[in-house]
Amino acid sequence: MSDTMAEFLDVAIDAAKKGGEVLMKHYQKKITVEMKADKTFVTNVDKESEEVIMTTIKKSFPDHAFFGEEFGKTGQSEYVWLIDPLDGTHHFMRDIPHFAVLIALMKENTIIMGLSYDPNTGHLMYAERGKGVTIEGETAKLSTVAEVNKAMCSFQWLVGFARAGLAKELMDLLGHITASTLLDAREQHQSLLTGKIDAMITAEIGIYDVAPYVLMIEELGGIATDIRGKPMGLDSTSFIGANKELHGKLVEFFT
């Protein structure tokens, strides 16, 4: 695995930048918007970006499988590329410059590489299993806050908690933490990965929405699981990421 890890990352960065070029080509211009079955939006830009990302990766790894937000699962391989071609579709649709391209690679159900790329600024965050985390311009570290009543938590996609039947549990948790914030997805994770906030919690997501950050949190010595404490996998639909001391205490609110 180590012999090709650098190539995986190089190809992923190239694919992310090409996907980002698609996003910026269409940003603040007229786009086509559809409502998906899960009541979230998808645009022609999401689809075009994912196609470009997949095409770029396939040139180097034609036998690998893919699991993207827009085109689902394709192919069979021990290697599976996880792709969110436009993380922050709602922001993109409203001309808010807070969105990113997310790409990760799983080998035999273990995430081994992941990145987040902001095409607005060119900012990149990435991790390779066993090699730590790189966040351009900042030091990667997790908060050391260990108690729920001292924690500042960030929650993405609040409507997802209601749709998942977790509104009561969420309100209970909100009554115990010291503060909450609702940053955009990329800012939330970057704030978690630089120790500015203590935990990130979300419901009603796909693995492609958080896969790079799962690896980054683990590489920094933290824990990332679904909202009930189960390991993250292709079928995961929720997420909690925090340092080891805090993580289990947060999971208790949802189990």
Distance between CA 81 and CA 208 in Å, rounded? 9
pLDDT for res 3: 46
Residue 74's DSSP bridge partners are 66
CB atoms within 10 A of CB 109: 11
Nearest alpha carbon to residue 124 among 17, 48, 224: 17
Two tokens, residue 62:
């034609």
CB atoms within 10 A of CB 172: 12
Distance between CA 204 and CA 173 in Å, rounded? 18
| Entry field: residues in the chain | 255
Two tokens, residue 177:
């933490």
Region 138-159: mean pLDDT is: 94
Q: DSSP secondary-structure letter at 252?
A: G
Q: What's the mean pLDDT when you consider all of the chain?
A: 92
Domain residue limits, the chain: 2-131, 148-254
Burial degree of 237 (CB within 10 A; 0-12, 13-18, 19+): middle
Two tokens, residue 237:
């639909």
Please give the order of strands across the beta sheet that includes 199-203: 179-181, 152-156, 199-203, 238-242, 223-225
User: Does the domain spanning 2-131 belong to CATH 3.30.540.10?
Assistant: yes
Burial degree of 90 (CB within 10 A; 0-12, 13-18, 19+): middle
Q: What is the pLDDT of residues 22-48, one digit of tens each?
A: 999 989 887 777 765 665 656 788 899
For the entire predicted model, the pTM comes to 0.93
Region 107-120: mean pLDDT is: 97
Cβ distance 250 to 153 under 8 Å? yes
CATH architecture of 148-254: 3-Layer(aba) Sandwich (3.40)
Residue 115's DSSP bridge partners are 103, 126
SS3 185: helix
Name the helix (H) or strand (E) containing 106.
strand 100-107
Q: What is the pLDDT of residues 72-94, one digit of tens each?
A: 999 999 999 999 999 988 888 88
pLDDT for res 2: 42
Nearest alpha carbon to residue 255 among 235, 243, 236, 240: 240
